[in-house]
Amino acid sequence: MTMDRLLAATAAVEDHHFWFKGLRRHARLMLDQAGVRPGLRLVVDCGAGTGRNLEWLATYGPAIGVDLSPYGIEVARRRGRPIVRGSVTALPVRTAAADLATSFDVLYCMDDRGEQQTLDEMWRILRPGGVALVNTAALAFLRGSHSTLSDERRRYTPAQLRRSLERAGFVVERVTFTNMSVFPPALLRRGWEQITGRASVPSDADLHLPPAPVNRFFDWCLTVESRILPRMNLPVGTSVMAVARKVDASGRRLAA
């Protein structure tokens, strides 16, 4: 029921909430920078949830989602998104079938073994030269009530995410903090939750749509941030995003 609650709250706001809009904007920028263009043979979203990201991922080529949640699959199919039931630790996709594999806010729910298996599976399904895009939660001291609701096991620094991807065999092309604009208020909120003990109480408050002026303000902030992101890695943020590539047996980087 906790996952259903999380996905239901997500489905209600992900079209308009500044955080989700910023995620999609940043992800497209990172993929563009990596040279990913339309015309891919297959895109796989690993842990697709409600399937919302399949809409824009499909602009690159045929896109399918994989998720374990019956509720998430129901929502995705109701939206007309192609999704199959399966685990990110054993993807129901042929070896070397995909040009792009994505993981949006999945790894932080995994233990050490699950994290390794997930990244190993992303590596397996990619063809040589294929690209992995990973987004996950940043900085352990930002743990809060949303972390408790989502059964968060870990939060990452860029260096930690880089090491995890490299252990799976990827060549990391870029890894950076994102959502720097919302870091100060997030730090204050998380600090308050930890001081008052509320961090241990599950809450979906982070997934409530803010008042329109607040939502517009942070959407504007993240839009400005997206103009900075192509030029530099951000020094801090509430998320970490990485682009990595599968190489051939000799370690040579192949074109996408």
Cα–chain center distance at 72: 16
How much is the pLDDT for 254?
44
When the pLDDT of each residue in the chain is averaged and rounded to a whole number, the result is 92
> To which residue do tokens 């009530």 refer?
145
How much is the pLDDT for 58?
98
The string of pLDDT tens digits covering residues 142-195 is 888 777 776 788 999 999 999 999 999 999 999 999 999 999 999 998 888 888
The string of pLDDT tens digits covering residues 235-252 is 999 999 999 999 875 544
CA distance 45 to 94: 14
Strand-by-strand arrangement of the 63-67 sheet: 83-85, 63-67, 43-46, 98-104, 126-137, 239-245, 171-178
Cα–chain center distance at 200: 23
5-19, 32-46, 155-169, 195-209: lowest mean pLDDT where? 195-209
Say if residues 129 and 246 touch (Cβ distance below 8 Å).
yes
| CA–CA–CA angle 27, 61, 57 (5° rounding) | 30
Please, what are the domains in the chain?
Answer: 2-245 (3.40.50.150)
